[in-house]
């Protein structure tokens, strides 16, 4: 449903870069040539043009555009040249600096982007502003706005189509109860809106309408002067029918052109390569006039139409990869626009065109990068990937404080897979061989072993390990063989099923993983359980574990909060305590020992061992050896680096 027209055949990116350079030469800038190129290239193509421009001229295309262009035309071209993630980061940052009305921009980004898109925007925000998006949103909002916006912007919703109708009926009733009681900021209401998948929410909203006789948005319109209530209703509409939300934004913006072109510009720029055709249909249905005609009715509208094609990627690339000077030039939107130069781009962007589906983008990108003529540096060295990853443990950049000992030279993954298959044959399983292989391979190597095993025997290594091993040894081997993301997803899911003490495991994962690791764990949770991690955590926790700090010093919540702070500050002290308590009560709770060793062996186990020795005057190796036995003991000792690889 994109509206941007990209020719079926486009020049090589280095040729586009050359033409853009020519457009800057002479007495005046050739704006028509800039429009002809940039307004008719998709995101991947514009990125390659920028790369080729930098390679050929050792200059930043964005800086040159910034220097050569002026006024609103400059702004639209710069915005369009950005990537979607950079653009969202820029929009969000600008919104945090402005008045309460800008809360709508934060909400819009949070509710209309996919989980992956929202994560990329947060990464771009990190890179550009050296802070997290969520911390800035939390800092610049207060009260109910903060209570709603922070969960929305940090959400990582499940993106599948699976729906639990029983849950939909139950949560529709919860929503109706809270809205009837005017408890619009209730934590249960916010939990449902901010964590459930869009498919699940649609089922919930449909049941709300069918069972209670009103659309949920209508029931929220009872107090039209309440800004928070308006924002909550808009969030629900964004999640349910984004085209209706954006149609309304466009309609209101067009009505007051000359004072609020920014909303029109923002919507066209961010939706031109997403769902602008659907928005145009909704606009026509609602207003009995086409969006093209409505925009063309105002002189500045042509410029804004230009933004429609150009801005989708302008803002993105701008936020991360470009100079502060260029980004500052975008500034806050002016009150008035006079875009006469932009008419061609405007029509180019708003007219119906080729749908920008991912396959086409990839094909064009491939076409761009193949070809001997291209002057761009080829950084995609894909040959011998397996050899590079498997036989060069140093390339995995193991942290210095990891305890796992990986030999300098290891067999090929298919050879390890063969040896593991042999370990399962005969009257008994060869546990020693399993330890010798798996306990001395890093994450990337274990993944390749699993892949080779599956390819060679059409079987799942994890299932075979599960069938052949038993007890605590089975548990530690299975946990270790999982990827870190799969492991965290499994641990988190197990924690949501258990008693309140398992809140500690959720906290541990959240506070000791970096942002990328936590993102991968959430992706793995999606893939495995067909739900989002945060919706399960929210659903299975209650009361103070979702609220602010309370003052009872004996409260279990306060203990978890203190542990969270220690995890963030000195994780080795936290894990030392978990190990110490786990070893003291072995026989009833080996799980803590297994979990910590399996999750920290490739991270900071050496530091944890040092802290354990300092605190207990005995080495961790000796403590484990004194309280465990057999293959379980040998596997644990191998993982914490006891003995030679």
Q: Between these two residues, 248 and 385, which has the higher pLDDT value?
A: 248
Mean pLDDT of all residues in 216-231: 87
* Alpha-carbon torsion, ordered 325, 326, 331, 336, to 10 deg: 130
Lowest mean pLDDT across 1-10, 297-306, 535-544, 600-609: 297-306
State yes or no: 299 annotated in a binding site.
yes
State yes or no: 49 annotated in a binding site.
no
Do both 444 and 518 map to the same domain?
no
State yes or no: 112 annotated in a binding site.
no
State yes or no: 26 annotated in a binding site.
yes
Distance CA 533, CA 524 (A): 9
Note the pLDDT of residue 222.
74
Domain assignment of residue 65, yes or no: no
State yes or no: 426 annotated in a binding site.
no
Mean pLDDT of all residues in 468-475: 96
Domain assignment of residue 13, yes or no: no
- Number of structural domains (the chain) is 3
Note the pLDDT of residue 383.
31
Do both 283 and 158 map to the same domain?
yes
The boundaries of the domain holding residue 436 are 386-399+408-469
Query: What share of the chain has pLDDT > 70, as a percent?
Result: 79
Residue 269's alpha-carbon distances to 65, 67, 333, in angstroms, are 18, 22, 13
Domain assignment of residue 507, yes or no: yes
The domain that contains 436 carries what CATH number?
Answer: 1.10.220.10
Digit-coded pLDDT (tens) for 518-574: 999 999 999 999 999 989 988 888 765 554 333 344 577 888 889 999 999 999 999
Q: Is pLDDT at 52 greater than 90 in this prediction?
A: yes
Do both 181 and 322 map to the same domain?
yes
State yes or no: 24 annotated in a binding site.
yes
Q: Is pLDDT at 168 greater than 80 in this prediction?
A: yes
**Residue for token pair 């997803």:** 489
Residue 261's alpha-carbon distances to 96, 252, 266, 267, in angstroms, are 19, 10, 9, 10
**What tokens does 477 get?**
């081997």
Do both 614 and 548 map to the same domain?
yes
Domain assignment of residue 530, yes or no: yes
Domain assignment of residue 626, yes or no: yes
Mean pLDDT of all residues in 359-385: 39
Do both 536 and 563 map to the same domain?
yes
State yes or no: 258 annotated in a binding site.
yes
Do both 462 and 495 map to the same domain?
no
Do both 461 and 543 map to the same domain?
no
Do both 502 and 612 map to the same domain?
yes
Residue 406's pLDDT band (cuts 50, 70, 90):
very high
Q: Is pLDDT at 589 greater than 60 in this prediction?
A: yes
Domain assignment of residue 88, yes or no: yes
Q: Comparing C-alpha atoms, which of 127, 197, 135 is closest to residue 162?
A: 197
């Amino acid at each position: 449903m994109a509206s941007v027209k990209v020719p079926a055949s486009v020049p090589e990116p280095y040729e586009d870069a050359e033409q853009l350079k020519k457009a800057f030469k002479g007495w005046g800038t050739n704006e028509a040539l800039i429009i002809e190129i940039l307004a008719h290239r998709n995101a991947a193509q514009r990125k390659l043009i920028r790369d080729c421009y930098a390679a050929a001229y050792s200059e930043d295309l964005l800086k040159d555009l910034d220097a050569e262009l002026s006024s609103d035309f400059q702004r639209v071209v710069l915005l369009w040249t950005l990537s979607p993630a950079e653009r969202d980061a820029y929009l969000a940052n600008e919104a945090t600096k402005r008045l309460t009305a800008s809360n709508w921009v934060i909400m819009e980004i949070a509710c209309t982007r996919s989980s992956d898109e929202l994560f990329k925007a947060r990464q771009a925000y990190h890179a550009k502003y050296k802070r997290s998006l969520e911390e800035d949103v939390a800092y610049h909002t207060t009260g109910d706005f903060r209570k709603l916006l922070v969960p929305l912007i940090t959400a990582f919703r499940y993106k599948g189509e699976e729906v639990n109708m029983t849950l939909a009926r139950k949560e529709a009733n919860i929503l109706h109860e809270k809205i009837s009681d005017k408890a619009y900021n209730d934590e249960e209401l916010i939990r449902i809106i901010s964590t459930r998948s869009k498919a699940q929410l649609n089922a919930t909203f449909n049941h709300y309408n069918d069972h209670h006789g009103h659309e949920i948005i209508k029931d929220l319109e009872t107090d039209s002067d309440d800004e928070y209530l308006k924002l909550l209703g808009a969030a629900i509409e964004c999640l349910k029918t984004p085209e209706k939300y954006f149609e309304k934004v466009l309609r209101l913006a067009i009505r007051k052109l000359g004072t609020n072109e920014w909303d029109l510009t923002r919507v066209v720029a961010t939706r031109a390569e997403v769902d602008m055709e659907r928005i145009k249909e909704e606009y026509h249905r609602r207003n009995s006039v086409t969006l093209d005609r409505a925009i063309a009715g105002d002189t500045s509208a042509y410029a804004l139409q230009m933004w429609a094609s150009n801005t989708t990627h302008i803002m993105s690339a701008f936020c991360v990869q470009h100079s502060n000077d260029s980004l500052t030039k975008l500034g806050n939107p002016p009150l008035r626009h006079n875009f006469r130069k932009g008419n061609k781009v405007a029509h180019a962007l708003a007219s119906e065109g080729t749908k920008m589906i991912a396959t086409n983008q990839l094909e064009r990108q491939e076409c761009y990068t193949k070809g001997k003529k291209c002057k761009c540096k080829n950084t995609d060295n894909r040959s011998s990937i397996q050899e590079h990853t498997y036989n060069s443990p140093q390339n995995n950049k193991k942290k210095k404080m990891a305890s796992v000992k990986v030999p300098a030279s290891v067999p090929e993954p298919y050879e390890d897979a063969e040896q593991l298959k042999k370990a399962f044959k005969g009257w008994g399983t060869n546990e020693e061989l399993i330890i010798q292989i798996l306990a001395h391979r890093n994450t990337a190597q274990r993944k390749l072993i699993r892949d080779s095993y599956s390819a060679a025997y059409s079987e799942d290594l994890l299932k075979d390990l599960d069938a052949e091993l038993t007890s605590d040894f089975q548990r530690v081997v299975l946990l270790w063989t999982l990827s870190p993301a799969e492991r965290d997803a499994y641990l988190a899911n197990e924690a949501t099923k258990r008693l309140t003490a398992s809140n500690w495991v959720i906290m541990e994962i959240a506070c000791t993983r970096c942002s990328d690791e936590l993102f991968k764990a959430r992706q793995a949770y999606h893939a495995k359980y067909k739900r989002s991690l945060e919706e399960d955590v929210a659903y299975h926790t209650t009361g103070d574990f979702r609220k602010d700090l309370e003052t009872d010093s004996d409260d279990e919540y306060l203990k978890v909060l203190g542990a969270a702070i220690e995890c963030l500050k000195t994780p080795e002290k936290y894990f030392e305590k978990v190990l110490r308590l786990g070893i003291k009560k072995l026989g009833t709770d080996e799980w803590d020992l297994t979990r910590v060793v399996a999750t920290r062996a490739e991270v900071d186990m050496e530091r944890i061992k040092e802290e354990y020795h300092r605190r207990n005057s005995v080495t961790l190796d000796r403590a484990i050896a004194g309280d465990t036995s057999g293959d379980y003991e040998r596997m644990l000792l191998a993982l914490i680096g006891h003995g030679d690889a």
